[in-house]
């Protein structure tokens, strides 16, 4: 059952449409990421959910109650911003206690809750410090504790990790997810980092030009992209352009070679289509056991540790192939010709 329901949300600034007909259902306790490039409208959706922007159209329902026109402080929502926004003149404990004081909680209740929050974020001994005495990662933990201390119904995170270095980001995103699971709080997370979204989310919503291109689990978004934008934005992708030979049998011809997708294609014979193929789905070893084989010319080979990324040309298209590093199977040498294998189940027909 949906805990948060966004129906037909739209936001327009002057003549510019930032969000258009955005709808989304979020079950209670889920962690949902809004993923997309800068300017796609994801932060505007978050701000409308928070009550910081008023929708031009559409409605927002939380736990069965329409909150579209309620003020931000009437929605029981906690929010963590990209820039931390901690009060520099307050200690860590005072920052965490801020929302509780505003809510009129007793001193004893505040002290107990602050202690719980500092323990939860792993900073039980730093309550007396000021924000300038903390690292960026510690400041973001405090901002998270302050947001969840008043026990909000919903937690909103607006690119909270973008100001941190890569190693701290990986560590902190795992901590955020662990805290979210422990508290069971419904969370919406905005990011432009696909790895972040895929690694910690129950549901990912890919946005582009103000609309939701696709919503689904990380597995669905990565393995079954529905549009060309989703396919190219999430992960590395090979796109093969072809024409439909037999719509009923799902046969598409690419570079003179016919591929059967194993199911009908909703397109007329002779129409142009795009097929998506992930680098890890192309086989070098065991190519003869695949549904299709094709000749390829190796152009570049990059050793990335556990993975070897190969750039090649196949059927007139530049492609990338990922293979696991295996000490007993050295990668091909640039300039050589190889045979690659493809399986019909790995070919994804993309919508425009």
Does position 326 have pLDDT exceeding 90, yes or no? no
Q: Is the pLDDT of residue 135 over 80?
A: yes
Instruction: Report the mean per-residue pLDDT for the chain.
Output: 93
Query: pLDDT of 282-313, one tens digit each?
Result: 999 888 899 999 999 999 999 988 999 999 99
Q: Cα–chain-centroid distance for residue 65?
A: 27
CATH class of 2-231: alpha beta
Residue 64 DSSP class: T
The pLDDT value given to residue 169:
87
193-251 confidence digits (pLDDT tens): 999 999 999 999 999 999 999 999 999 999 888 888 998 899 888 999 999 999 999 99
SS3 per-residue string spanning 287-352: HHHCCEEEEEEEEEEEECCCEEEEEEEECCEEEEEEEECECCECCCCCCCEEEEEECHHHCEEEEC
Tell me: pLDDT of 162 over 90. no
pLDDT for residue 167: 82
Tally DSSP H helices, then E strands, for the chain. Answer: 8, 19
What percentage of the chain carries pLDDT values higher than 90?
80
Per-residue model confidence (pLDDT) at position 328: 83
Q: Which of 301, 306, 303 is nearest to 338 (CA)?
A: 301
Give residue 166's pLDDT.
80
Whether the per-residue pLDDT at 352 is higher than 60: the answer is no
DSSP H helices in the chain = 42-50, 92-102, 107-120, 136-148, 166-183, 194-200, 218-223, 228-233
d(CA 256, CA 245): 11
**pLDDT tens-digit map of 3-13:** 999 999 999 99
Average of per-residue pLDDT across 27-53:
96
Q: Can you tell me the mean pLDDT for 167-183?
A: 90
Q: Give yes or no for residue 143 having a pLDDT over 90.
A: yes
Whether the CB-CB separation of 182 and 29 falls below 8 Å is answered with no
pLDDT at 94: 97
Residue 156: pLDDT above 60?
yes
- The Cβ of residue 38 has, within 10 Å, a number of other Cβ atoms equal to 8
Q: 236-350 — its CATH code?
A: 2.40.50.100
Q: Where are the domains of the chain?
A: 2-231, 236-350
State what percent of residues in the chain have pLDDT above 70.
99
- How is residue 26 written in tokens? 């979020």
Supply the pLDDT for residue 163: 74
Q: For position 61, what pLDDT does the model report?
A: 97
- For the segment 139-168, the average pLDDT, to the nearest whole number, is 91
Strands 238-246 and 272-277: antiparallel
């Amino acid at each position: 059952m949906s805990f948060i329901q966004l129906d037909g949300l739209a936001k327009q600034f002057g003549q510019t449409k930032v969000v258009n007909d955005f709808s989304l259902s979020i079950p209670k306790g889920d962690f949902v990421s809004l993923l997309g490039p800068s300017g796609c409208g994801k932060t505007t959706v978050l701000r409308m959910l928070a009550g910081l922007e008023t929708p031009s159209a559409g409605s927002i329902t939380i736990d069965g109650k329409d909150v579209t026109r309620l003020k931000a402080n009437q929605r029981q929502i906690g929010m963590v911003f990209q820039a931390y926004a901690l009060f520099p003149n307050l200690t860590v404990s005072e920052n965490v206690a801020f929302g509780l004081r505003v809510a009129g909680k007793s001193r004893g209740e505040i002290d107990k809750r602050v202690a719980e929050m500092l323990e939860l974020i792993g900073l039980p001994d730093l309550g007396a410090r000021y924000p300038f005495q903390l690292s960026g990662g510690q400041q973001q933990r405090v901002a998270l504790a302050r947001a969840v201390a008043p026990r909000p119904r919903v937690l909103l995170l607006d690119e909270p990790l973008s100001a941190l270095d890569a190693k701290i980001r990986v560590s902190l995103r795992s901590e955020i997810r662990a805290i979210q699971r422990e508290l069971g709080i419904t969370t919406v997370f905005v990011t432009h980092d696909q790895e972040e979204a895929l690694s910690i989310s129950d549901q990912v919503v890919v946005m582009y030009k103000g609309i939701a291109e696709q919503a689904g689990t990380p597995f669905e978004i990565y393995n079954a992209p529905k549009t060309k934008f989703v396919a190219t934005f999430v992960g590395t992708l090979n796109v093969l352009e072809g024409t439909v030979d037999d719509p009923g049998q799902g046969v598409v011809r690419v570079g003179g070679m016919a591929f059967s997708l194993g199911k009908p294609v909703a397109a007329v014979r002779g129409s142009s289509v795009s097929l998506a193929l992930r680098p890890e789905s192309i086989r070098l070893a065991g190519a003869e056991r695949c549904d299709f084989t094709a000749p390829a010319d190796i152009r570049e080979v990059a050793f990335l540790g556990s993975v070897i990324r190969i750039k090649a040309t196949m059927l007139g298209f530049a492609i990338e192939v990922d293979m696991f590093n295996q000490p007993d199977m050295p990668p091909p040498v640039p300039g050589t010709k190889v045979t690659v294998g493809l399986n019909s189940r790995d070919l994804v027909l993309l919508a425009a």
